[in-house]
Structure 1
Amino acid sequence: MTSSWVPGPELAWQLHAECPDACILFQSVREEAGALLDFQWRALNPAAEVWVRGLGLSPALSAWGGVLEGLPEHGLLGEVVETGAPLSFELRSRLGGVERWYRARALKRDDGFSLWLSDITDIQAERQLLREALAQERAARAREEHLRLALETARMVTWEWTEARHSLVWSPNAEDFFGHRPGNTLECLLEEVYPGERARVAEAFVEGQCAESPFTFQFRGPRTNGTQRCFEVVGQSHREEGRPTRMLGVVVDCTERERVQAALREAEERYRLVSWATNDVLWDWNPNGEYIHWGESSRAVFGYASEEMGGISWLRQQLHPEDREMVLRTLEHVVQSGGESWMAEYRFRRKDGTYVHVLDRGLVARDAQRQTVRVIGSMMDITERKRAVERMQEEAQFRERFIGILGHDLRSPLNAIMLSARQLRRRSTLSPVQLAQRIEASAERMGKMISDILDLTRARLSGGIPLHLSPTSLPALCRQVVEELSVAHPGRDISVEAEGEGEGIWDPDRLAQVVSNLVGNALEHGEGEGPIRVRCRGETELRVLEISNRGTPIPNHLLATLFDPFRQGGSSRSGRSSGLGLGLFIVRELVEAHGGQVSVRSTEKEGTTFSVLLPSDARPFAREGSTLSEEAHTG
């Protein structure tokens, strides 16, 4: 040590070995200018020596902070030295693996201080026990208060039944709950129940005593003010050696809950009836989640049970690919932009895989912060309405085109007839034979147009073309038509091939019209010198007819509408069309009237082929008004 300082005579007794408290004498450590730097101990009594060595404390007080908790700052201890005012505090350490507490007191001694330490670990333990007991008491009181408030808020009371007393003990709020203080027996409880329900309640109470799990039952009872209340009893039986000794539970006033549930059931029933009455599919979606609630009419409209229909991801998959982006984009825009309503028309996939047109309308519900909380809407199947509108548009277009035909196409051959007649009267340079041929050709062309228009009218306005069915040979019919066309087109290579069964029940005149139109189409649009092949073959109950020709293929963009009325598959070899664009439409109508199908494929390599599939017997498919020959009846 750098100082020879020793305690004065007045401290000699205090530092004696028999002193129970630890005492440590500290002297100030200062710089040359006198500023306080630290404190170092200079003397220890025996109790302090054991304590210091046990903790491994160094002489410098500044090094004690890492070992002791609660040590004051040097500035506070410096004030003890400067002013002489004592300083009291508590320290905590771990000596020998045991936590110890000390009451410390610093007293001025010359240019330092004496530090007295008293072990108060036992006192601190008693304090901790007292604090814990007080905390438990406060927690118990808080729980009691919370229970009281919960019982009052939830409109319920607690009860306890014991086998020893055969009595009920109620919570303090029972009088407010029932409107009077209930008795402490089961019979008193039954007085709160309507007479008609007392036997059931008594039986339920006895069954609850024997139950090993929580039990519940309800009863109705009158209040003192004459109103009817609904109560629910929930209890748990406690058993000892197999016998019920105690029951605990609550009684809940569920009148409002029952009223709300009844109103909810009524609203749900009203919702269900409205959904059925409108035949719309109602839906309810929370944009913050995936789930969508679907109405019960979904089965009738779309074929799905409501539980089979999923959330927004499932809905996305049912939208037609061409409509999907538009629907989701507009719905998201309304939700995000603060809109109040949404509407869209799109195609929706039914359970059977077909698409229907729907009109979907939704209303957006928002909270006070204008955040979307739900979107409620309805989906209406407008497929038939849309078809009706399309039919109206088609009919309007048909009438417009029909009037154009009457005003233009039919006028051309009529003008040719009138011009030829005038020239004949004026002794034209043309011979009478040439004029007669011109008149005959124009009249024939005009007659074909009229026949086509009549067939169009029957197909579009009369529900289909009637048939006159009789046994017919498809190969023989094809040969007859080809022979007639070969006379009108000498030099053209038209062949007929037949394979397998070719007999059937059809309308021979209408079937000849099909063959004539298809072969005539090949003659007009096919390669000038190229062959035309007519093939017939039998396949079990089907008959197949194919007409093929070489030439420029039909453009792909025309194939989809080739069989529509007033359509042309392309220019003829002469550069102009000689018809109204009804030939292929009439072919399709005649084939479908027989229960068959017609299709076309056209490529640069293979040319153009029209394929007709016919059932061997058209009788099941003939429209009302069709006739059958006696021979067909017999067959």
Structure 2
Amino acid sequence: MTSSWVPGPELAWTLHVESPIACVLFESVREGAGAPRDFQWRALNPAAEALVNGLGLGRALSSWSGVVEGLPGWEALSQVVEAGTPLTFEAHLGAGTAERWFQAKAVKHGDGFSLWLLDITESRVERRSLREELERERAVRAREEHLRLALETARMVTWEWSAGSRTLTWSPNASAFFGQPEGVPGPTTESFLGCVHPDERTRVSEALQQGMRAEGPYTFQFQGQWADGTVRCYEAVGQTFHENGRATRMLGVVLDCTERERAQVALRAAEERYRLAAWATNDVLWDWNFADDHIHWGEASHAVLGYLPEEMGGLSWWTERIHPDDRKMVVEGLHHAVESGGESWTGEYRFQHKDGTYVHVLDRGLVARDGKGRSARMIGSMMDITERKRTVERMQEEARFRERFIGILGHDLRNPLNAISLSARALRRRGPLPPAQQQLAQRIEASAERMGKMIADILDLTRARLSGGIPLNLAPTNLPTVCQQVMEELTMAHPGRELVFEARGEGEGVWDPDRLAQVVSNLVGNALEHGASEGPIIVRCVGETESQVLEVSNPGVPIPGHQLTTLFDPFRQVGTGRRSSGLGLGLFIVRELVEAHGGEVRVCSTQDEGTTFTVLLPRDARQPRRDSGSNHAHTA
């Protein structure tokens, strides 16, 4: 029997008396000439009679609507009767084990229609079973695809070992997972061990044997070697099932943990760097979590503050140990940095050591914020600056000492020296003295003058080294005039020496005339003392567009090359074999005075040309040269 075959109305009724196809003849129920308001059956074949009686169906078709599902509406059935258009549909009768499906066809028959019902229950059940089977297959394939995707995403494979067949079964992605050709690893343990790094095959084989004896889950790590030589890190997790004390089956997964291992190695390295940094700096590192107000303290807390990390508490514990005089300022500054959206905070205060004393600390922190800009945590370090504080105090004390020392040099020593010098001069002027006394008075006066020069040099050294530089009184100055005055004074003091002065170009500038006179006097005095006694000492002033050049030259034995690099250092003297009358500060003071003007001094010494000191000065010392570095004019 096929569900597509339905007898036509041209077949005689008698031919279907014993047919398994149910047939019901319905006639229209009308009111006058109107459209049918219902249909009633007037004849049934045996198959239809068994169906109608078995289901207790009434005579009117309207009574079937609660039992037969799928019946067309009255308008559709009326169209069959009025227009003669056949109508095909599927009907469902009954429920549970008694439910049946029919392919139905309504065909015009007189003033009604014949309803043919072909039982298609078996074919429908078969089709439904086939659909259910197909759906199950699709579900299995979908689960397999989901498993494949899950395994690939999670970078893992599954495996199963059967004791009966002594074989391994792998998930389809095993070859790509282990970086091997298709089909590897195979069903044997030896094939799997071929994917393991040669150095670890023995250990992995022993781990599998131990897994067979294990009760419950077990795990081990190993390194695998791909076909191209790449080495990856894997972790195997499995469980063994036993029967009568014998392993019958093993199930598990293998995970690729290479990236995890790299991350852990990097994390351990970072932790080690953190530990070494904390140890090297001896700073107390801290991490403040705003959510629970907890502060994690670094290990250096014991060395710096005397507390073990576990003995230290949160924000309130920290606040209580700040010196009372510093507490309000420090706490308000910290909260302002956190609440105002700032990124960093710095505080310098006194913190109570475990022994009760206070240490000076410099505390610094950075605020970490979440995606919405809210403060989440703060990380920082606490540095013990107690020694630095003491050093600053010592430096301040030394500064006060320098001030007193300069005062002693400038006032307390000069005053009695001036009295000695004036007394010697007064003795010589009082009247004729015996030659011996006259000579003693001149010697006293000359010694006092030399001592005064030494005091002046020491005072300049102290100012240059300890007081921020030699002060200058800058004013419009004519350098040739300054040089000529110094040359005249030195000529009178050294009548037997030849001093030559040359001037060329403009010589006007903004300088300290007294300090430049000191530069010229020291350079010429150095030439007089260390140069050849028979040769001339030449002083030249050369005016250039933006600078002024001063040169002092003298003949004589050249300065040894190894002494040129330290020539301008204090207390250094040129080794000419002559005994110097000074302290070796003249050239040092020359360099300090020139650099205070924003200039520089050079020296060139050869056998043929003698020794020449060259001073380069900017035209205006109020505007230091660009390449003068940190040398600045100090204006008093």
On whether the aligned pair clears a TM of 0.5, the verdict is no
Q: TM-score normalized by structure 1?
A: 0.45
Q: Which has the larger radius of gyration?
A: 2
Q: TM-score normalized by structure 2?
A: 0.45
